[in-house]
Amino acid sequence: MKRLRWHWLLLSLAPIYGTYWGRALRWAVFLKPLKPRPSMSKLLTATMIGFTAITLFGRAGDFVRPYLIAAKEQVPLTSQLAAWLLERVFDLLMASLLLGFALSRVHGSGLHVGPTFAWLLAFGGRIVWISCILVLVVLLSLRHFAEPARRRLIAAFHFLPEARFQRVERFLTALVQGVESTRSDAALLLIFVYSVLEWILIAACYWCVVQAFAGMINLTFVDILILMGFVSFGGVVQIPGIGGGTQVAAALVLTELYGTRLELATSFAVFLWIITFVAVVPAGLGLALKEGLDWHSLRQMAGRWRNEVSVL
């Protein structure tokens, strides 16, 4: 703690907060088929509150952001859940590419790693292949088969009573509207550009955190990308208020690959989690209070989603 370069930690907040702006820009592209000119301030507010909910509640908080955006922009909730699915698909694509790069660099370096990390490398290789195939299948399906699938499903539900059938039809129509942006080549390119920009900002944040530990942990930019590749998949496991996967993955990479002492690696991992996950919480809570939201309201949002899909 005494040897930390605190100004670099403060500087790391700039790119990590920039990622929320980048996510809002990307979500605006998802929204355009329904709302050509969405409010960027509303999207940014919903994004920061949503990521605060993820930090505090774990992955269950993922549904807060689509709900807020649907309410603020007055579009169907189901369409924004479809947009959330699209965002996850593109994040998975970028994380898979980064993990693939990390694995190739580790294998190419000829490093001798322990049995724990050897298992992680083998498992990671399978994850890259599976996730890339999954992303390709999902994107092709959404681009070419979403509308035909909607028509067939609607036809299949004609046996329902009229009121219930209309609810199902609205649900499926809104779901397809939420992925409408995938049909445009320009929109897909823009989404990919924003996704790359987001990960550049995350890399800049990692770089700043590494500089804060300069003299104790010395990583090149390529090393940072390798670290990001493994941590990006570790971040999938989020224990509410605690995190979990991010810290374990970061500490494991530093100790196994770079010979960092466990205590120092743990310190770095905790600071990295605080900057990349927890730093948004004060701003997110402030925005939530400004919006008149409390924890009871956030729980009601999840309940609203359950009601939305109960028609099926």
27 CB burial (10 A radius; 0-12, 13-18, 19+) = buried
pLDDT tens profile 91-121: 878 877 777 777 777 655 555 555 655 556 6
* Predicted confidence (pLDDT) at residue 228 exceeds the cutoff of 70: yes
What is d(CA 57, CA 242) in angstroms, rounded to the nearest whole number?
9
What secondary structure letter does DSSP report for 29?
A: H
CA atoms within 13 Å, Cβ hemisphere of 208: 21
Look at residue 312 in the predicted model and tell me its pLDDT: 45
Average pLDDT over residues 296-301: 65
What is d(CA 228, CA 271) in angstroms, rounded to the nearest whole number?
14
159 CB burial (10 A radius; 0-12, 13-18, 19+) = exposed
* Predicted confidence (pLDDT) at residue 37 exceeds the cutoff of 80: yes
The answer to whether 213 and 4 have CB atoms below 8 angstroms apart is yes
Instruction: Provide CB contacts within 8 A for 182, sequence distance 6+.
Output: 86, 139, 142, 143, 146, 188
pLDDT tens profile 138-175: 666 666 666 676 677 677 776 677 776 666 666 666 66
Average pLDDT over residues 169-196: 75
pLDDT tens profile 11-35: 999 999 999 999 999 999 988 888 8
Taken as a whole, the chain contains a residue count of: 312
Look at residue 9 in the predicted model and tell me its pLDDT: 93
The answer to whether 168 and 78 have CB atoms below 8 angstroms apart is no
